[in-house]
Amino acid sequence: MLKFGTDGVRGVANAELTPELALALGRAAARVLGGDRFAIGRDTRRSGPMLEAALCAGLVSEGVDVELLGVAPTPEVAWWSVTTDAPAAVVSASHNPFPDNGIKLFAAGGRKLPDDVEERLEHELQVLLDDAASPRDAPTGVGLGAVRTVAASAQSGYRAAVSASLAGRDLAGLRAVVDCAHGAASVVAPAVLSDLGVDVEVIHADPDGTNINAGCGSTHPQELARTVAERGADVGVAFDGDADRVLLIDATGELVDGDHIIAICAIDRHERGVLAGDSVVVTVMTNLGFRLAMDKRGIHVVETQVGDRYVLEALESRRLHLGGEQSGHVIFRDLATTGDGLLTALQALDVVTRSGRSLADLAGEAMTRLPQVLRNVPVAERDPAVAERLAGPIAAVEARLGDHGRVLVRTSGTEPLVRVMVEAPTEDEAEAAADELIAAVEALDRA
């Protein structure tokens, strides 16, 4: 059985993540999360309608009414959960390749599930799968849940809500190239940006069920960078498949990643006196240059383990408003309950518009990025204890780098990969250290 990772369950659709599993998960969610209504949104993968239907069937069979949002960004589904105060699910594998799919769940109020609730779900799911052939008491007749489609109203409401985050301001005068990754952003992002006065050119917004994230979007921003430079645009905006993260491109074609976006927005809020606690929350993957830049400006940095859920937990427990990840998954807790690529783009472009400065100037002044090498090493099985098992090689590299570098080795929360990150004073030093650690990971995997 698939286990919950850092972002729900995820696997190859119809092989690891089957309709049978989705149906059982729907039943388990109805029992554990409670309530009499539930919303489901999905991205543009071919397997999406299949898994949506199975998940919906499981919920309805437990007497829960289901509202179908159709193709919708993950943050739209979270927003709908907030507005209706009902649980919700997104059928999406986010930035993963097209054959994969996943199911991520929100509790009523648009919040991702805490560990203890996920454990209860896993237990209930296992019970249902073990007892699938056993007779059961089940609702019949009017006891069954009803299904209705609310895609149009959900999308228009979300568009209005995300635009309202600018408090009446617009983004007139900006020229942007927007890469929708052939994903869920295609149905909403270009329209919102255009409505706010941006001169928009759209690429990769023709999903066919198989081309999501394929050589485009935030995981492959190279074509967007070329297009921005060729068109003389002010900015490029690159979403991932479910639009909960975003990366930007400046007018010179340079990438502006999540670290820079958070730095720009943190400094802007700090200078305006509206950065809650004069603090920002980031993960262990955040570049050392970010920490140095925040320290210089008197902004406190709170660090969490990798995963936006942990960033959100720190934001809520400390009553802070801004945090996120280098990947472009940014949370404005005073404006949303989860990472929102479109909201993040609007907030960053608002700083550009209000300041009258270019994105390149803002990013360059916000922080200086230390050379960082990040490698994904395929492994046979996910091993959460990989860092402990490689303590010797990691300690050797750390001793060599001293205070001028940083090392992180961790298992992916969603894929059979070990992520190796090294920061060092020079690119060559970072590359050499990463190669050394990758060799250690591969040797361990073969053992």
Please give the positions annotated as active site.
94
Give the whole-angstrom CA distance, residue 340 versus residue 239: 10
Cβ–Cβ < 8 Å for 58, 26: yes
Residues 6+ apart with CB under 8 A from 363: 250, 254, 256, 260, 263, 264
76-104 b/e (C-beta count within 10 Å ≥ 16 → b): bbbbbbbebebbbbbbbbbbbebebbbbb
Amino acid making up residue 163: S
Residue count (the chain) = 447
CA atoms within 13 A on the CB side of 281: 29
Give the whole-angstrom CA distance, residue 22 versus residue 103: 8
- CA distances to 7, 58, 183, 334, 415 from 128, in Å: 22, 11, 32, 38, 25
- Please compute Rg for the chain using Cα positions: 22
Cβ–Cβ < 8 Å for 9, 126: no
Give the whole-angstrom CA distance, residue 436 versus residue 70: 46
Cβ–Cβ < 8 Å for 110, 88: yes
Residues 6+ apart with CB under 8 A from 417: 376, 377, 378, 379, 411
Give the whole-angstrom CA distance, residue 419 versus residue 313: 23
- Return the number of other C-beta atoms located less than 10 Å from residue 388's C-beta: 10
Helix residue spans in 248-358 (DSSP H): 258-272, 288-296, 308-318, 341-355
According to DSSP, the residues that pair with 100 across neighbouring strands are: 12
Which residue is listed with tokens 């979300």? Answer: 158
- CA distances to 75, 337, 357 from 200, in Å: 22, 27, 19
By three-state DSSP, how is residue 106 classified? strand
Helix residue spans in 101-239 (DSSP H): 115-130, 151-164, 189-195, 222-231
